[in-house]
A = this chain, B = another copy of it.
Amino acid sequence: MNVFNEPDPPTGRAAQKRATIAAVIAAAREEFEAVGYEAANIRAIARRAGVSAGTVIHYHADKRELLHAALFADLEATLAETLADLGRGRLATRLGRLTRGVFRYYEKRPKLSRTLLKESLFADEPWASRFAAQVARVHVEIARLASEAVSRGELRADCDGDGVATAYFAFFYFALIAWVQGGLPDPVALVDRMVQQHLAGLAPGTTTARQGKTTTHATRTEPGKRAESTKPSKRAQPTRRANTGKTGRRR
């Protein structure tokens, strides 16, 4: 029983293990948020958590997994919150709210947004599946919104909610990548535009039969099937920067 301000360490292996894991994850989150992913190093995180570097790596396969573990819950919370706040209105309007809500997760982390996006898109297992499941949940929600839009007469009766959701994700991630690469100041506006344009093809009064060509829609974009991304562009300026070897290097 420690009478000082320092709480007793939990006793028992299971409890100690849980406490250690929690301390490591908290320390990692703080370190990543403070200095970014590249600058954060395992030894600093270990010190912050009061354990050894070996212990940090004991509970997470590698630095990347530690990043996922440290930030995943935040993303989950953001999604839940955003989805709960989509309100009413036209499909495009609600998707716009979704875009803004989720974008905020990245926007408020200038030091981390790029790595968070990059590493989540290309995560290894088991995190690939966790992110996939996360996206699937949003996907289902978007499909639901699309169904409501059909009911309201906003979209044609034969509209495929999955197709809408898939297109939405394509636009969203495309805009996000462009933004983290510095090539797009307002990703939200771009997503809005692309969604508008896309939904235009699904509106009542339009048909799926185009210029005599049968549109062979695949029936369902499996929720587990994601992603398309565009080259993140910076500027069209190739920034020649002649390959002067290492002349300008750290010399």
Please give the residue numbers on chain A whose beta carbons come within 8 Å of chain B beta carbons, in ascending order: 17, 21, 57-59, 61, 90, 92, 114, 117-118, 120-123, 125-126, 128-136, 154, 163, 166-167, 169-178, 180-184, 187, 189-191, 193-194, 196-203, 205-206, 208, 210-211, 213, 215-218, 221-241, 243, 245-246, 249
- Are B210 and A196 in contact, with the CB atoms below 8 A? yes
Q: How far is the CB of A70 from chain B (nearest CB, A)?
A: 13
* B-chain residues with CB within 8 Å of residue A246 when the two chains form the complex: 57-59, 61
Q: Which residue of B lies closest to A165 (CB)?
A: B230
- Are A183 and B237 in contact, with the CB atoms below 8 A? no
Q: Given the complex of chains A and B, what is the CA–CA distance between A154 and B134 in angstroms?
A: 38
Q: Can you report 8 A-B residue pairs in the complex whose CB atoms are below 8 A from each other?
A: A133-B236, A166-B174, A169-B230, A174-B228, A183-B226, A190-B221, A193-B221, A200-B210
- Are B133 and A173 in contact, with the CB atoms below 8 A? no
Of A200, A229, A246, chain B has the most CB atoms within 10 Å of the CB of A229
Q: How many copies does the complex hold?
A: 2
Q: Which residue of B lies closest to A69 (CB)?
A: B243
Q: With A206-B203, A235-B132 as given contacts, are A229 and B90 in contact (CB-CB < 8 Å)?
A: no
Partner of A184, one of B92, B184, B198, B225: B225
Q: Given the complex of chains A and B, what is the CA–CA distance between A238 and B223 in angstroms?
A: 12
- Are B58 and A230 in contact, with the CB atoms below 8 A? no
* B-chain residues with CB within 8 Å of residue A238 when the two chains form the complex: 126, 129-130, 132-133
- Are B166 and A225 in contact, with the CB atoms below 8 A? no
Q: Given the complex of chains A and B, what is the CA–CA distance between A199 and B175 in angstroms?
A: 19
- Are A224 and B231 in contact, with the CB atoms below 8 A? no
Q: How far is the CB of A198 from chain B (nearest CB, A)?
A: 5
Other 4 A-B pairs with CB < 8 A, given A58-B249, A126-B241, A128-B234: A21-B245, A57-B246, A125-B234, A183-B225
* B-chain residues with CB within 8 Å of residue A17 when the two chains form the complex: 245
* B-chain residues with CB within 8 Å of residue A135 when the two chains form the complex: 230-231, 233
- Are B177 and A233 in contact, with the CB atoms below 8 A? no
* B-chain residues with CB within 8 Å of residue A120 when the two chains form the complex: 231
* B-chain residues with CB within 8 Å of residue A170 when the two chains form the complex: 170-171, 173-175, 194, 228-230
Q: Given the complex of chains A and B, what is the CA–CA distance between A39 and B12 in angstroms?
A: 41
Q: How far is the CB of A230 from chain B (nearest CB, A)?
A: 3
Q: How far is the CB of A157 from chain B (nearest CB, A)?
A: 15
Q: Which residue of B lies closest to A206 (CB)?
A: B206
- Are A61 and B178 in contact, with the CB atoms below 8 A? no
